Structure formats: C-alpha cells, structure tokens
Structure 1
Amino acid sequence: MHWAYSIANRLIEQHPDRSTFVCASGISPSGAVHIGNFREIVTTYFVVRALEQSDQNLRFIFSWDDFDRFRKVPAGIDPAFEKYIGMPYSEVPCPYGCHDSYAQHFERQFENALSVFGIQPEFIYQSREYQSKRYNPSILHVLRKRKEIYDIVMAFKTGDASEDERDGYFPVHVYCEVCRKDTTTIQSFDEQTDTLAYSCQCGRQDMLYIPDATNIKLQWKLDWPMRWSREGVLFEPGGRDHSSETGSYNVAKALSEIIFENVPPAYLPYEFISIKGSHTKMSSSSGHNYTPDDLLNVYSPELILFMFAKYQPSAAFHIGMDEDVIRNYTEYERYREGYDSGTLNSELKEALELSMMTTEPWGKTPKFSHVSSLLPLVHFDRALLKDILTRNGEEYSIEELEPIVRRAEHWIKCWYPQKQVEVKECADTAFYNTLSSTERGWVQAFCGLLKSSEVEGEQLMEQIYAICHDEDKKVMRSNQKRLFTIIYNLVLNQNEGPRIPWLIQAVGPKKLLDLMEVSP
C-alpha cells in the first residue's frame, strides 16, 4: 500500500467521529520557492488525495508565513534590500516592482505553479491573520503562561535554566510601530492591564495593549501549535531539520499538549531534495535550487508529481537536469505501459494514480528519448519530426506533439547542450582509419543496404542486425552495439543517437553514404 493511503487510513481509524479532516502545510516566502519546498505541500497533497478516496470532508490549508521577519537578502535580489532586514515579509517592497510586497511576489509565483499541478489548497496569509487580531487571545494566553513555557522549552536544551532568564522570557516578536523592524526588546508585561512595554533600537519606546495589537507575533515553536489548535489540524509534514529529538516538532508537540491543551496532529518527517552532484539542501537565499517552473519547462506536471509519489517521504533523492531527464521519462513511460497492461505492482500503481491530474485515459505522446534524439537533427522543425514519426507508424498531430517537443527543446537548449548534435559536413577519414578490417566490412555492408534496400523500419533493422551475425549471441549483441557506435561517430561524432531507421530518415540515405563510404 502506498504511504499516503497508509496515513489516510490511520487518520480515519484514529478519528472516527471527526467531521472534517484538516491537513496542513506551509512555508515562508523568503525568496523563490524551490522544488525542495514543494515536497512540503505535495506530501500533504497526496494524503489529501488518499483521504478523498474515503469520501471524507476535507480542508487542505497552506499557510504563508509572511509575517515572519526578512532575514537575509537572497542571491539575485538587489543588495540594497539589506535595509529591510527585520521587517515582516509582507511589508518589504516587491524587488521587481510588480506586486504589492516582497511576500506577494513569491507567493503568487508559487501559487501559479501549484495551479499547473492541480494543487489548490486554501491559502492562509499569516500577516493578515495576525493583523486581524484573531490570534490576540492566544498571544495573551502565551504571555500569561510564559514562565511555564520557558520550563518546557528548556527541557529540550542542554544548557542550564536561569531564574533571571525565566523572568525575562517573552516568547513573542514585536515589530516596532515606527521602523517596522523586530529590533525590539520587551521590558515588561503587566497581566493586570494586558499591556506590554518595549523599546526599539531606533529609539522608540512604547506600550502595547495586547487585545488590540497588530504588530506582535508568537515565536515559531509556539506559533505552530497555536495554529494546530486554531485550525483543528490532524496532519502536517515537516522537514528533517524540524524532526530531531529536540527539534521544533517535539517542542511544539509538548507545548500543544500542555499550554494549548490540544492533541497535536499526526506528523510525517520528510527528507530534503538535492541537486545532482551537490550534497547540500536547496536554498532560496543562496539561489542553489530548482524552482517548480524550472522543472515544468522540462517535465510534465504528472511526471513531476510521480517523482515525489514514488519515494517514501523519508527517502532523500536528487534531481539532475542532465541525462537523468531521459532516465526519468523512460521509467515513467515504462510504468505507464505497465499500468495500462495491469502488470504494475500495487504501490507503483497507486503512486501513478495519485499523480494523475485527470481520470481521462493517458494522452498520446511519443517517447521523450526519441523526440530529444531527433529534434536537433531536424533543426527543431515540428513538421519534419511529425513526418519521421508518421513514417514509423506513430501518428500524432502537431498539437499532440507540441508539449513534449517544447519541453525537449527547452531541456536541450537550456540544460543539456550535449544533445545539440549536428551531422558532420564531410567524411571522417581519421576515425574510419582506426577501425579494424572487420568493422570496415560492417560499415561497407551497411552502406550496401542503404543503396539497395527499399525496406524500412523493423525489417531494415533485422538486416542491419544480421551484418554482425555470430553464433555466440553475446558476441553478436556486442558486435551490433559496436556497429551502431561506429555509425553514430561517423555521422554525428557521438557514441549514441536516434534509432538507426530514424537517423536514416532524418539525415537522408545520400548524406549518410557521403559520410560513411570512406576511402582509407
């Protein structure tokens, strides 16, 4: 059984009387939201999809933590934005001047990408929630319980508790009403009048009446369980960094149970995703990441969803934009064929179903490896590609071809120029002279087929295979592979290329003969 269905079944068993199952996720809009962040929401999304199969009433929420402080100027943003550090993301200007704020720019960017996947949660903007005063009763409750909270938090730390530190412990952030930064120090809290006194590095000193305050928020380890209680959350995943024995989740869990008297939600830790060749996690601030849009330019939405669905959340994996793209497409195409034929195991079958964006049958599409091999040879001409595919029994309209052609072209031109192969201008005598007499005989036999045979497709391939016949099947397969490598080198200066019949059609028999009939 797929892990999402296991979690869904467990939630239903544990909450038989629950009228609405609330599943949550969320992140801070600290910069361009990357595909590592995507694992946060897609993990929740798969559980929601699994719960839908049981006809449960569902609420799928995604919190934008845009009332968090702006901590660091990310790579690619004007360094002058350093002057806004300490302000809430919702109040930092848009770095590109196209949205109302920094937060809104990156929120809309990610929300638009999510819509392509058919992921449509209920978005909650925490800046609005805090400034609506909805959380003020909880903030007041926390301030009154602050010493008890201190004791709980210190139980997860190795350092010694201090009575002075306990007396001066205020687990909230205050944004100055003048400079709007959190460079503030809380001086005191009066439980009789519900007022808090603070000073700011800018020189401001002020008193806040908590029930009416709009510039105060809870620290993260209290903010999280407070929202669990407010929204009635039953399930939420979290990254590995929150999931250690003394990490945020276990601290928040204890605070939820003791301070908010609320049973914490079921929690699922997930591993980070890395860029192939790098062992560091993706980061918005460093610019070391792939965004969902980066992947959507290369992969279909369903394939991206499947890349996440096929792994347990606890499994780390990497994403590469090199030859891995062909491997991922080839695997996905094979699994789709297995799904249609009923030969796929149940876990992979459910992973594919969770990745489907429609209940309609699979759309017609050629294999990505074939398209990406042929496109450079036909100079990315859709009509020529369509003609070659048609001649080989694969009928597609230009409209059916366009999505995969567009992605293959983008991948080759922007990520993997090694695929941008060209047909040689003239015969490569130097390479030909490195061949053995047997190998030259194979090439001459291949040229003979080009001159005399009217046979195409699989019949032609059978005749080409026969050139390297050997009684030992293993030797014959090795010889055949070697012949194909020789052909690709003579024609493309590469060790690999499209299927030989397609190469013949793309390049033309005459040009192939010009390149392969070499005088030693």
Structure 2
Amino acid sequence: MFWADSIVDDFLAAYEEEAGKRKLILRDEKTLSGRPHVGSLRSFVMHAVLSDVLHSRGVDNVFYYEINDTDAFDSVPSYVDSSWSEHLGKRLKDVPSPDGKAENYAIYFANEYTEVLKDAKFNVEFYVSSERYEAGEYDKYIALALDNKDKIREIYKEVSGSQKDESWYPCQVICDGCGKIATTRVTGWDGEKVQYSCDAKLKYTQGCSHSGEKSPFGGNATMPWKVEWAAKFCVVKVDLEGAGKDHYAAGGSRHVSNRICEEVFDHKHPFDVRHEFILMEGSKMSSSSGVGATAVDLYQLLPRYLFRFMMIQKDVMKTINFSPDGDTIPVLFDQYDEACNDYFNGGEDVIEHKNRIFEFTHYYEDDIKKRNRFLPRFSQISFYSQMPHVDMEKRVEEMKGAELNDLDKEELELRVKYSEKWLETCSPEKYIYKLREDLPEECANLDEEQKGFLKLLAEYLEENPAATGHDVQTFIHDKKKELGFQPAVIFRAIYASLLGKDSGPKAGWLIEALDNQFLINRFKEAAK
C-alpha cells in the first residue's frame, strides 16, 4: 500500500466523525533561520501529499504551512555578512533583510523558499507566525502557560527528565532595552504583566542587563518551543501534524507538547505522524549553518515532476539519500521512467502502490495521459549532449524506432536542458566525456593486444560506414570471444584513444555518436 494511503486510513479511522462535519486541518512549519535546505521538504511534502490523498477521497481539508519568524536569530550563516551578528538574540522578524529590500530577515529567506513550493504545485496555504501573535491569538495560551508553570515543569520532568527551576516561567518577552528575546528571563507574573530581566549569557549573545515589566500579549512575547508547539495545535485547531522521528523518541519533544496541549490547554493533540529524513551523503542538513543543498538549489537541478517523484516515492519512514554529485539524478530518472512505463503499459503484476506514487507525482496535472510519452534514458542524453555534431532528435528517433511526436519532443528538450545543467554544476567525473582533439598521451600505454584490436575496429568501420551503435557493440563482443580478449582490455583501449580515460559510456553509443572517418583515423593512429 502507498504510504500516504496507509496513514490516511489510520487518520480517518480516528477522525471519522469530524471528517463528515467540518474541514480538517493539517499543519507544518519552517523557521527561516537561513536558506531552507532540501531536508526541510520531507515534512512539507508528507503533509502536502496527505492533504492531496484526503482530497482525492472527497474529504474536505486544508494544509497550513507556517513561516516561523518569531524564533530567535541564533547564528549568522556563512553566506550572510558577519555584521549581522549585532542582531543575534532578536526575533527573526526583527532582523533586517540581507538585501535591504524584503520586510525582514525571515521574509527574505521565506520568499525564495515559498516560490519553490508554489512552483512545485503543492496545495498549501502559507501564514506568518508573528501575525497570529500580534492578532492576540496566542494571548489565552500565554496566560495559561504562565498560570500553570508548575504543571508544565512537572510534565517536562516526567516526560523528558528535564529539571526546570522553581523560578522558571514558560515565557520570554522582547526586551525594551535592546530588542532581544533570547536573553530575557521572566521573574514574575501578576495576571496582566510580567516582570523580566535581560541578563542571560548565551554562547552566541548576552543580555543588556535591562529590567522592567510589560504585558506579554499582542506579540510582545513567545513561549519555549515545546510549550509554543502545543499552543500552535490549539490556535490553528490542528487535526494532523507530523514531525521527524527524533521528536518522537522516548522523552522527545512531541510527547512533551502533546501532554501540555491536553493537560494545560485542554485541547486534543493532533494525530501523530513520524517521518525519516533526507540525508546529504549520510549527514543531516542544517539551514542555519549553510551546510547541504538548499531547496532552491535542488529544485533548479530537477524538472518539477522528478522533484515531486523523489520526494513522494519512498515511504516516509525510510531515509532519502541525495547526492547531486553522485548517481542520484540519473538513477532518479531511470526510476521515474520505470514507474511511468508501468503505469501506462504494465500488466496486472504492477503493484498498485507504484501507480499511486505516479498519480500523486502528477496530481497537479489536468490530464495525466499527457505523461505517456517516449522517455529517452537520461544517461544517454547527457552523453549525447557532450558529443559534437550529434543530431539529438535523430538519435532519439532511432531509440524509439519511430518519429517523435510533440510530447516526445517536449520531453527531449527538457532532458537535454537538465542534463546540461547537471553536467555543468555537479555531475561526477565518470559522466563527463570530453573528446580529445589530439591523440591522448594515455595511448602510449596501450599494449600490442589492444593496438591489434583497435586496428581491427578501424577496418570494420571502413567496411561498414553505416554501422549503428548496436552493430558496433555486437562486433566488439564477437571479436572478444573469437580472439579471447579480456573485456576490460579492449574497452580500455577504446576509451583511452578517444577520451584519454580508462572508462566511459557504452562503447556502441560513443562510436555511433562520432564521425566515422574521425574514428577510423584515430583508431589507426592509436594502433601504431
């Protein structure tokens, strides 16, 4: 079963009555501490796909995505000027935009992120965290948290073992002296105002020593994030909200927030969903440190449908390993091509969940039948795009065995575009095939057996000027058996004489893509 169908089945079993009476609400969020990395998309896409599956079953719902601009600015990314360190400790909303144009730091990074999400055609409604604070929607829960600080302390201790001092209050206000929020400490609460001191000394900033009192309402304060998370469940009236599996570990933050939601705020906590992460070569990515591919960078490497396919195809409890400078992108295209072929041409043996993955990859399209087109293999297109004087359309027509229609040509144009982009930016060396204009110096290391084979290959091309790549590949394998050549020996000779490398693309592709007379002259020269 498709992972999203399985989760929706469980969710509707728990929310059967609500589903028939009102619009169900799904929620997720992102703190804009820097350029959002691709890892942040795992949670977003999970919620977006669950929303789509609910819609496909006729269940009215909405997916809200919060742009969190009220967290503290706690580090300056490598790509932001170091002078921004003077703003450390302030809310992201109160930090100026790096380009001096956007409303603030958070909105600056939110703009490029949300543009990607919109272009990827996921159904979502965005909102900004501070707007709900300033509208007073959190006031009730701030007051409840302050009134029940001892109960919250007990929950922290019972669930996670965290010990909070008796003087601790689950609230931080904006300092009237320096504008920071991370360095303030509430020291008292009279039911209307809090007393506070800006005296915290953190690793990245410290308070200004100002003391005062103020109302914590109307956007003047926030709550510790486990308490705030519970308040968000209530404010947005969330029915389903998932999180990374680390939040669900024993004593984890989700368990703390769920209990605060129910025992302090008297509100049913949302349906829980866990997910795994996206790893960049085995390491979890961080947006504030600048480590890892950003969502924008990745999106620009992939066509929309492949971006969606990558994010949807794996069960949410399985890790996605992504390496743009490895085999990830060619393999993704191959996996998509297989899924597409199975969807349109597969028999009864095609597993239903694979078809569901394909359907939700293209859920945004009016007519999925338009995806039924010829799909030339990405690795072949990336190879041919590097060969001089190749008639790409003719080559692909030969692959198809028929003339290309308009949809085929559209797909070919797209794959040429993305193969060239991949080759220019991040493909591994093994996929880069630069034809040497002169005889490579590596040919000096060829032995007599290799030279003899190159001579035979040159003679074959002279006698068969119209030979196809398949014909050449057959000749190579026949001679290999007839003369007892080792495969690695003869293929190394071909690649050395043309590319100056020990390996390369399928030999038939390479030879078919090049001028016949050039090949004859080069192989004869290398055989001397």
TM-score normalised by the chain length of structure 2? 0.88
Distance 1:11 1:366 in 2: 40
Determine if contact 2:146/2:169 at 8 Å carries over to the other structure: yes
Give 1:492 shift. Answer: 1.5
Q: CA offset at residue 61 of structure 1?
A: 0.7
* Aligned counterpart for 2:26 among listed residues 23, 28, 32: 23
Say whether the 8 Å CA contact 1:238–1:269 is kept in structure 2: yes
Matched residue, 2:173 = 174
In the alignment, is the contact (CA less than 8 A) between 1:468 and 1:480 conserved in 2? no
**Counterpart secondary structure, 1:308:** helix
Cα deviation, 1:124-173, whole Å, max 9, x if unaligned, reads 21111111112112211221122211211121243667xxx32x221011
Displacement after TM superposition at 1:174 (Å): 0.5
Which of 447, 453, 461 is matched with 2:464 structurally?
453
Q: Deviations over 1:273-301 (max 9, x none)?
A: 2212xx43101122111112222222222
Q: Deviations over 1:32-70 (max 9, x none)?
A: 001111111011112112212211001101111111111
Instruction: Check the 8 A contact 2:306/2:336 in 1, yes or no.
Output: yes
- Secondary structure at the aligned position of 2:284 is classed as coil
Q: How does 1:429-468 map to 2 (within 5 A)?
A: 431=443, 434-435=446-447, 437=449, 439-457=450-468, 460-461=471-472, 463-465=474-476, 467-468=478-479
For 1:111, the aligned partner's letter is: T
Pair 1:101 & 2:104 matched: yes
CA distance in 2, matches of 1:195, 1:242: 33
Q: Which residue, 336, 347, 357 being the options, matches 1:351?
A: 357
Alignment of 1:360 with 2:368, yes or no, is yes
Alignment map for 1:202-241 (pairs within 5 Å)? 202-210=208-216, 212-241=217-246
Q: How far has the Cα of 1:496 moved from its partner?
A: 4.2
Counterpart for residue 424 of structure 2: 413
Q: How far apart, CA to CA, are the structure 2 residues paired with 1:334 and 1:491? A: 32
Q: Is 1:198 paired with 2:201?
A: no
User: Pairwise mapping of residues 153-172 of structure 1 onto structure 2 (< 5 A)?
Assistant: 153-158=156-161, 165-166=165-166, 168-172=167-171
Q: CA RMSD in A?
A: 2.6
User: Which amino acid counterpart does residue 368 of structure 2 have in structure 1?
Assistant: E
1:395 to 2:404 alignment: yes
Q: Percent identity, please.
A: 23
Name the SS of the counterpart of 2:292 in structure 1. coil
- The corresponding residue for 1:117 is 120
Say if 1:173 and 1:216, in contact at 8 Å, map to a contact too: yes
Letter in 2 for 1:240: K
Q: Distance in 1 between matches of 2:463 and 2:150?
A: 92
Find the aligned partners of 2:405 and 2:423 in 1 and give their Cα distance.
Answer: 22
Q: Write the letter of the residue equivalent to 2:324.
A: M
**Where does residue 435 of structure 2 map in the other structure?**
423
8 Å contact kept, 1:373–1:498: yes
Counterpart amino acid of 1:315?
A: K
* Cα distance between partner residues in 1 of 2:447 and 2:330: 30
Whole-Å Cα distance in 2 between the matches of residues 376 and 462 of structure 1? 20
State the partner residue of 1:11.
11
Structure 2 residue 379 is the aligned partner of structure 1 residue 369: yes
Contact 2:337 2:375 in 1 (8 A): no
- On the 8 A contact 1:237/1:269 being kept in 2, the answer is yes
Q: Is 1:245 matched up with 2:253?
A: no
Q: Aligned to 1:51, which of 50, 54, 66?
A: 54
Contact 1:445/1:467 (CA < 8 Å) preserved in 2? no
Structure 1 length-normalised TM: 0.89
Partner Cα separation in structure 1 for residue 441 and residue 172 of structure 2:
74
3-state DSSP class of the match of 2:387?
A: helix
Matches within 5 A, 1:31-50: 31-50=34-53
Q: Is the 8 A contact 1:386 1:396 kept in 2?
A: no
5+ unaligned residues in a row in structure 1: which ranges? none
Q: 1:514 to 1:417 in 2, by over 3 A?
A: farther
**What secondary structure is seen at the aligned counterpart in 2 of 1:17?**
helix
Deviation track 1:421-462 (CA, whole Å, cap 9, x = no partner) reads: 22223345863763453x544433322231122544366246
**Aligned residue pairs, count:** 503
Letter in 1 for 2:352: S
Secondary structure in 2 matching 1:207: strand
Q: Name the stretch that deviates more: 200-209 or 510-519.
A: 200-209
Could you say what secondary structure the match of 2:239 adopts?
Answer: strand
Deviates more, 1:298-307 or 1:57-66: 298-307
How far apart, in 2, do the equivalents of 1:197 and 1:391 lie?
Answer: 78
Conserved? CA contact 1:423–1:507, under 8 Å: no
